Amino acid sequence: MARHGKQYGFGLLPGLITLVLYAAALVALALWGTDFVAWATPFADDWSSPWAGLFRGFLTAVLFALGLLLSVLTFTAVTLLIGQPFYESLSEKVDRDVSPDGTAPESDLPLWRELWISARDSLRILARALVWGVLLFALGFVPVVGQTVVPVIGFFVTGFFLTEELTAVALQRRGVEVRERLVLLRSRKTLVWGFGTPLAVAFLVPFVAVFLMPGAVAGATLMARDLLGEETTGNGPEEEPETPQAPQAPPAPPAQPHAPRPPGTEGVTP
């Protein structure tokens, strides 16, 4: 992305739009979360103090934490959905740059059809991610394990689904369905975790996620090519062709030793 500044600038727009939407939703949750919890728990109105306040305060904190977790899990999917045309163009550019013949796979589907497939697949992945999210959130209350092991597992799970969402941009153009994508990713879990887990950690900071999204899409495109076994050329500077050298004359044969002269002919020039 550092070599394609214009593409990087276009790739920032979807992330900025998504960031504004999510920030507004989290602010609204922080401002009116207490009222929502009070409305949802009318049975606690008759509880004696301070139990009602503690109970509702705990539920408000849980609600905000769950909203924050969902925002992390869904930020990439929503950003990719909003920025489908931007990231599609970016992914094709990366394919052309690293392809030996300079071409990129293209989808023959209209834009509305691609958006529909992307939204449908994102919902399927989101459903799986929500199951994992709720399970890990519940395990977080287990003493010791919930504060040590569970967060680590959560980052790996988030990294896996994050990689699936990012590689979907390139794999969808190649006609790879969501189930086939999951099979490909599960076959290379070490590669997937090595790519997605650091991104999941970085994406906890929304501003960082915005600026990393274009590079993440570019890296996921390279990963998609690797998963499918497609040949990829190097991205370094091109080597200068060697200048052909003029052919050299063959070396002269070694001088033959002179035959010995007969006696008495020394000093006579032949």
Is residue 151 in some structural domain?
yes
Length of the chain: 270
Give per-residue pLDDT as tens, 99-136. 888 777 776 666 666 667 767 777 777 778 778 878 88
DSSP 100: T
Separation of alpha carbons 27 and 33, rounded Å: 9
Is residue 18 in some structural domain?
yes
CA–CA distances in Å: residue 62 to residues 19, 58, 66, 153, 218: 22, 6, 6, 20, 35
Is residue 190 in some structural domain?
yes
Give the pLDDT score at 16: 86
CA–CA distances in Å: residue 43 to residues 39, 40, 258: 10, 9, 124
Neighbours of 156 (CB within 10 A): 14
- Total domains, the chain: 1
- HEC letters along 175-210: CCCHHHHHHHHHHCHHHHHHHHHHHHHHCCCHHHHH
Separation of alpha carbons 216 and 190, rounded Å: 17
Separation of alpha carbons 139 and 236, rounded Å: 46
* Residue 164 C-beta-side C-alpha neighbours within 13 Å: 29
Is residue 232 within 8 Å of residue 225, measured between CB atoms? yes
Q: pTM here?
A: 0.64
Give per-residue pLDDT as tens, 186-220. 999 999 999 999 998 888 776 787 888 888 999 99
Is residue 244 in some structural domain?
no
Separation of alpha carbons 82 and 78, rounded Å: 6
Give the pLDDT score at 154: 86
Is residue 254 in some structural domain?
no
Task: Provide CB contacts within 8 A for 83, sequence distance 6+.
Answer: 11, 13, 14, 15, 17, 213
249's tokens: 């004359």
Domain that holds residue 106: 5-227
CA–CA distances in Å: residue 190 to residues 96, 138, 147, 218, 245: 27, 26, 24, 19, 48
Is residue 258 in some structural domain?
no
Give the pLDDT score at 197: 92
CA dihedral 232, 234, 240, 246 (to 10 degrees): -50
The residue ranges of the chain whose pLDDT is under 70 are 73, 107-115, 118, 206, 234-270
Is residue 153 in some structural domain?
yes
Separation of alpha carbons 193 and 159, rounded Å: 6
Is residue 192 in some structural domain?
yes
- Spatial CA neighbour of 169 closest among 231, 112, 122: 122
